[in-house]
Amino acid sequence: MDTKTRVEDGETVRRPRHEPKGLRTRTWVAAAVVIIAGGGAWFFYPHGGGGSVANARPVPPHEVSVSKPLLRDLDTRLGFLGQFSAVDQVELRAQVGGTLTGVHFRDGDIVHKGDLLFTIDRVPYEIRLAQATAQRETAEARLTLAKQELARAQDLERNDAGTKQNVEQRTSELNAAQAALGDASAQIRDARFDLDHCRVTAPFSGRIGRHLVSVGNLIAGSRAATSPTTLLATLVSLDPVYLDFDMSEADFQSFSRYRGDTKGLPANRVELASGDSTTYTRQGTLDFVDNVLDRSSGTIHARATVPNADLRFTPGEFSRVRLAVAHPTPTLLVPDASVLPDQSEHVVMTVAADGAVAPKHVEIGDIRGGLRVIRSGLSRDDRVIVDGLPYAAPGTKVATRAGAIRYEPQQN
């Protein structure tokens, strides 16, 4: 091995002429660590060499925005999920049978009361009406003859040329002729009824579904609900509509107490927010609450009637609904972003007089005016952090600046 000789501390030392590459790398790393450590010491200590850690500049506390909770007189509301249903809904079925000859609407159309929807072949019913008319004419002729024969029999009896028995017989024939005429008239009305019902019209205004039978099909019809008939289409009314929802037992008790002490307030008014809307812009009237609670679910069914002149709501659609259950009282409000989840509870960060951050557990309510209702856990004088929450760890000191909480009436 190639070596070189040199003198160290008075002794001759032999070292390899070329040191291994790994050894040189470790030497350079050690030197770098020493330099970095020295630089750090030079940065934190005065250059004179006599400094200490206590001379380092203190880090200033973070600054946050704080504000007292907003106070508003608000009523207590309960929220539910409801579903729209039609006030009127009918299955269109024919009262007479026959061949379907016409469908006079497009699937999904808005139709009005009295509009023609389906037509059925009229020929068989026109024939039956003609037969009934002929029977009535025959009955009228018999009645005329019976009247004449009765008159002659009565003349003969008065002149002692006829018998009383003959008069009674002619009277009986007259009564039978009158009954036959009445039956013939009824047959005409019945035949005309069937003929008129070859035209199926809309019983009320609303939206019709798709036609379930095409032209040319033979359909079954009957005036009796128990007889099998052919379903032609369905029709639902659209204005107004019902909104059905269920209240829990506790919510129902709260509502009952409030409704019993309304003092002129609209206890039966409900507000709606449908689809992806977050604002309750529509109103309805609570007009039905069931008379028993469902034992299996512990809820009671309720229903509101909602105007729908613009056809905004469709039967079957879901909507959020809220209902007032308490009179207006002073209520604290804070920004929803200031309320933090803490497992199953909620926390609001406040700042004490000495600048220390103190968490407070609160009970929250719904969103009102774009702010979160605080039912309990905060006082009117608490300073709530409304901006800078990432820098507000519990127990730390912070600097404060005045913030503002704004109430948005349009989001109420």
Does this model's pTM top 0.85? My answer is no
For residues 334 and 355, give the distance between their C-alpha atoms in angstroms, rounded to a whole number: 20
User: What is the band of 263 on the pLDDT scale with cuts at 50, 70, 90?
Assistant: low
Q: Which residues of 70-90 are buried (b: 16+ CB within 10 A; e: fewer)?
A: bebebebbbebebebebbeeb
E-assigned strand segments in 241-356:
241-248, 269-274, 282-289, 299-306, 318-335, 339-342, 345-351
- Please report, rounded to a whole number, the percentage of residues in the chain having pLDDT higher than 70: 82
User: What whole-number distance in Å separates Cα of residue 186 and Cα of residue 174?
Assistant: 19
- Which residue type is seen at 142? R
CB 269 within 8 A of CB 283: yes
What does 336-357 look like in DSSP terms, one character per residue?
A: GGGEEEETTEEEEEEE-TTSBE
Percentage of the chain with pLDDT > 90? 20
pLDDT tens digits, one per residue of 105-154: 999 989 999 999 999 999 999 999 999 999 888 988 888 888 888 888 87
pLDDT in tens, 275-320: 777 677 788 888 888 888 888 888 899 999 999 988 888 888 898 8
pLDDT of residue 264: 45
- Residue indicated by tokens 């970095």: 36
Amino acid code (one letter) for 363: E
Helix (H, G, I), strand (E, B) or coil at 35: helix
The dihedral built from the CA positions of residue 22, 23, 25 and 30, taken in this order, carries a sign that is positive
pLDDT tens digits for range 195-236? 988 999 999 999 999 999 899 899 888 877 667 888 999 999
